[in-house]
Chain A
């Protein structure tokens, strides 16, 4: 149900999102513009999936879609949905974007914690801890628990940090290609 509800507004702003994505991809991302920043982040989300290895058995078949959960506003969900629309992973796996409420983040492969609320962030991270979920926070996490990937803005560009300790806790392997692009990498403890 939630998925269907989320799809509709996503369709509506697809044109905008594409334009934003294009801007984000080919022009320099401009974090001064919060909308653009969000759009860039939205396009990055599904791309992360290519460089993450989930535990064996997580996907039953190549057609088994990757579930990208967005815990945030409808607008952000719509942006993510628009960015991933029609896309697959490099290996052809389809992508399903789902809006989730915090604490209801079940069956997610990627969990994007869009709103910056510390308490709920820690709670959500605790919730999926140990489960094969790629957690992505919108900024540096404040608290004990860290997301695997945390967006950061460096030199007015959208970049990210990677926490290998968190990845290991969630039984995820991160490609070195992605690590090369990370601003900071927090090693495994």
Chain B
């Protein structure tokens, strides 16, 4: 059901494709650095040689210019001094001065031997693999008076390699730095990705949480509205009980009533009845209506309703039912489900004024924890009943309020705003859920989830008429406990009219006193909501402790949790909801008195009685 899955763990590693192709970048960077390094070494080597050659040329030129006078004045000693001065430069391994005929005047060779002059006729420098030599003529004016020769060793290869090794080390460092940076960048990138994913997950989780919170708020709001609605309906029911009860009493009495008076009484009674229908629907929303749940097959129910639905929908709307095979049975009030479906179908019809298609679908549905949480539902097994139309649909805003009582988009007088609220209240009270899926203009789907029946919990078989007739028992007084004076008066009057002796109490304490005072009491008829320390349920418990097996009939303007657990009546508990007619009351009292349990109680009581 849910698209978001916040529990999915973060992937431990990021796919390689997301990261930059590091090896290629690094290899390229390293290659370029090596290339640059090699170029620098070659460039250095060349410029070193050029510089060296220039230096040697310059030294030869200096020697040539300084040795000129020495040659002119045949001063070999001075010439030798110049040569020696030159030779003090560590790089120069040979230097010599020759006269015009090419004879050596002064010379130096590091080896100690005589200098080995090259071709003196060729002026300029020459570079060999490991030496640079320069030959320059010594001039006096236009004439050549001698030649100088200077030779230098190029810095030994080992020394040069050392220097280049230094460059190499620098480049190595650069390469290492590059690799480290690349690695750092890569891991940063990975961290970023992980962070982004974590952030995404966080967002998804926050979104899911928000959804849950919205669902929770919505349900709390519905709960609050339900409380309010239930309270109002309860009070109304008490009032309606007084009105309709007295109207009935009025009719039953043999007053000399004219036809007009009878018509007026009937009209008032009809009004009260309609008001009673309204309050019962309010109670349905408030989840305060007494339900008679039983295990039944929803498919059979839908099939059985199809004729009714077709009549409701008219001819312009196509009906399709998609009923799942092997559908689980549900445990709910079947009559109320029928009401709910009718309500939904009526809404669908109103949304499809120009015709369309209505689909009723059933399916088994298992909600796990995550799915249920995301939608504010309870995990478990459900039977889903969906009613879809192709009508006008609902906006998001309308959807939010659709289940609220008195909310309606229909025109004044067309809708009560209680249809969907009844559906909602009924489904919730039955332990299920109701959901709306709709898009404005796209139609609406309402899904009801009713809990799967765990076992066939059939209600106790209806009481069979027993041997003892009601007449036999009519001498047993009925203890009526009711705090509302109007209702009490009506009930007492009604029961008295039916021939039952009546004892009266207005709260738990006085009821117990009445019980103690009259051991013959055969039936406790009590309102559930009683003032004082003891409510009706507690009173019943206490009374049954004192008189085991005492039959009890509860009444209520709504069914509170005291006897209605999760919207279902406890087994064996009899309840009549207000407003009831005298006829309803008589029938219910007779049925109880005729039941096996009552008989057992009575016979035991008889035996015990003196």
Q: How far is the CB of B138 from chain A (nearest CB, A)?
A: 12
Asked if B461 is an interface residue, CB under 8 A from chain A, the answer is: no
Asked if B70 is an interface residue, CB under 8 A from chain A, the answer is: yes
Q: How far is the CB of B123 from chain A (nearest CB, A)?
A: 19
Residues of A within 8 A of B73 (CB): 44, 47, 159-160, 181
Q: Which of B68, B72, B99 has the most CB of A within 10 A?
A: B72
Q: How far is the CB of A54 from chain B (nearest CB, A)?
A: 18
Residues of B within 8 A of A29 (CB): 74
Residues of B within 8 A of A89 (CB): 141
Given the known inter-chain contacts A44-B73, A47-B72, A181-B73, please indicate yes or no for A90 contacting B78, CB distance below 8 A: no
A88 to B141, Cβ gap below 8 A? Answer: yes
B69 to A26, Cβ gap below 8 A? Answer: no
Asked if B84 is an interface residue, CB under 8 A from chain A, the answer is: no
Asked if A152 is an interface residue, CB under 8 A from chain B, the answer is: no
Given the known inter-chain contacts A24-B74, A29-B74, A40-B74, please indicate yes or no for A51 contacting B69, CB distance below 8 A: yes
Q: What is the CA–CA distance of A29 and B103 in the complex, to the nearest angstrom?
A: 15
Chain B positions 247-288 with a Cβ under 8 Å from a chain A Cβ: none
Q: How far is the CB of A62 from chain B (nearest CB, A)?
A: 13
Nearest opposing residue in chain A for B65, CB measure = A177
Bitwise, B98-110 to A at CB < 8 A (1) or not (0) is 0111010000000
B141 to A90, Cβ gap below 8 A? Answer: yes
Asked if B66 is an interface residue, CB under 8 A from chain A, the answer is: yes
B66 to A159, Cβ gap below 8 A? Answer: no
Residues of A within 8 A of B297 (CB): none
Chain B positions 202-242 with a Cβ under 8 Å from a chain A Cβ: none
Asked if B484 is an interface residue, CB under 8 A from chain A, the answer is: no
Residues of B within 8 A of A91 (CB): 141
Asked if B140 is an interface residue, CB under 8 A from chain A, the answer is: yes
Chain B positions 60-98 with a Cβ under 8 Å from a chain A Cβ: 66, 68-70, 72-75, 78
Given the known inter-chain contacts A51-B69, A177-B66, please indicate yes or no for A26 contacting B141, CB distance below 8 A: no
A181 to B75, Cβ gap below 8 A? Answer: yes
Residues of B within 8 A of A25 (CB): 74, 99-100
Q: What is the CA–CA distance of A158 and B75 in the complex, to the nearest angstrom?
A: 9
Chain A positions 148-184 with a Cβ under 8 Å from a chain B Cβ: 157-160, 175, 177-178, 180-181
Q: How far is the CB of A46 from chain B (nearest CB, A)?
A: 10
Residues of A within 8 A of B100 (CB): 25-26
Nearest opposing residue in chain B for A25, CB measure = B74
Asked if A92 is an interface residue, CB under 8 A from chain B, the answer is: yes
Q: How far is the CB of B331 from chain A (nearest CB, A)?
A: 130
Q: What is the CA–CA distance of A47 and B73 in the complex, to the nearest angstrom?
A: 8
Chain B positions 97-147 with a Cβ under 8 Å from a chain A Cβ: 99-101, 103, 140-141
Q: What is the CA–CA distance of A33 and B101 in the complex, to the nearest angstrom?
A: 23
Q: How far is the CB of A55 from chain B (nearest CB, A)?
A: 22
Residues of B within 8 A of A47 (CB): 72-73
Q: What is the CA–CA distance of A133 and B498 in the complex, to the nearest angstrom?
A: 177
Residues of B within 8 A of A26 (CB): 99-101, 103
Residues of A within 8 A of B69 (CB): 51, 175, 177-178, 180-181
Q: How far is the CB of B83 from chain A (nearest CB, A)?
A: 14
Nearest opposing residue in chain B for A160, CB measure = B73
Q: What is the CA–CA distance of A57 and B66 in the complex, to the nearest angstrom?
A: 28
Bitwise, A71-96 to B at CB < 8 A (1) or not (0) is 00000000000000000111110000
Q: Which of B70, B74, B75 has the most CB of A within 10 A?
A: B74
Residues of B within 8 A of A178 (CB): 69
Chain A positions 119-152 with a Cβ under 8 Å from a chain B Cβ: none
Q: What is the CA–CA distance of A175 and B66 in the complex, to the nearest angstrom?
A: 12
Nearest opposing residue in chain A for B139, CB measure = A90
A181 to B78, Cβ gap below 8 A? Answer: yes
Q: What is the CA–CA distance of A178 and B68 in the complex, to the nearest angstrom?
A: 10
Nearest opposing residue in chain B for A154, CB measure = B77
Q: How far is the CB of A175 from chain B (nearest CB, A)?
A: 8
Nearest opposing residue in chain B for A91, CB measure = B141
Residues of A within 8 A of B66 (CB): 177
Q: Which of A40, A44, A158, A181 has the most CB of B within 10 A?
A: A181
Q: How far is the CB of B146 from chain A (nearest CB, A)?
A: 10
Given the known inter-chain contacts A51-B69, A88-B141, A181-B70, please indicate yes or no for A159 contacting B75, CB distance below 8 A: yes
Residues of B within 8 A of A24 (CB): 74
Q: What is the CA–CA distance of A172 and B103 in the complex, to the nearest angstrom?
A: 35
B141 to A180, Cβ gap below 8 A? Answer: no
Q: What is the CA–CA distance of A159 and B70 in the complex, to the nearest angstrom?
A: 11
Residues of A within 8 A of B68 (CB): 177
Bitwise, A34-54 to B at CB < 8 A (1) or not (0) is 000000100010010011000
Q: What is the CA–CA distance of A28 and B75 in the complex, to the nearest angstrom?
A: 10
A157 to B141, Cβ gap below 8 A? Answer: no
A157 to B74, Cβ gap below 8 A? Answer: yes
Nearest opposing residue in chain A for B71, CB measure = A25
Q: What is the CA–CA distance of A175 and B68 in the complex, to the nearest angstrom?
A: 13
A92 to B74, Cβ gap below 8 A? Answer: no
Q: Which of B68, B103, B141 has the most CB of A within 10 A?
A: B141
Q: How far is the CB of B568 from chain A (nearest CB, A)?
A: 132
Q: How far is the CB of A26 from chain B (nearest CB, A)?
A: 5
Q: What is the CA–CA distance of A28 and B74 in the complex, to the nearest angstrom?
A: 8
Q: How far is the CB of B77 from chain A (nearest CB, A)?
A: 9
Given the known inter-chain contacts A24-B74, A51-B69, A181-B73, please indicate yes or no for A92 contacting B99, CB distance below 8 A: no
Q: What is the CA–CA distance of A91 and B139 in the complex, to the nearest angstrom?
A: 12
Q: Which of B70, B73, B141 has the most CB of A within 10 A?
A: B73
Chain B positions 37-75 with a Cβ under 8 Å from a chain A Cβ: 66, 68-70, 72-75
Q: How far is the CB of B446 from chain A (nearest CB, A)?
A: 120
Q: How far is the CB of A65 from chain B (nearest CB, A)?
A: 15
Q: What is the CA–CA distance of A25 and B72 in the complex, to the nearest angstrom?
A: 8
Nearest opposing residue in chain B for A157, CB measure = B74
The 6 closest A-B pairs by CB, nearest first: A90-B141, A177-B69, A47-B72, A181-B75, A181-B73, A181-B78
Q: Can you list 7 A-B pairs, Cβ within 8 angstroms, ordered by A? A: A29-B74, A50-B72, A89-B141, A158-B74, A175-B69, A177-B66, A177-B69
Q: Which residues of B contact A (CB under 8 A)?
A: 66, 68-70, 72-75, 78, 99-101, 103, 140-141
Instruction: List 12 other contacts, CB 8 Å, given A26-B103, A90-B140, A159-B73.
Output: A25-B99, A26-B99, A47-B72, A50-B72, A89-B141, A92-B141, A160-B73, A175-B69, A177-B66, A177-B68, A180-B78, A181-B70
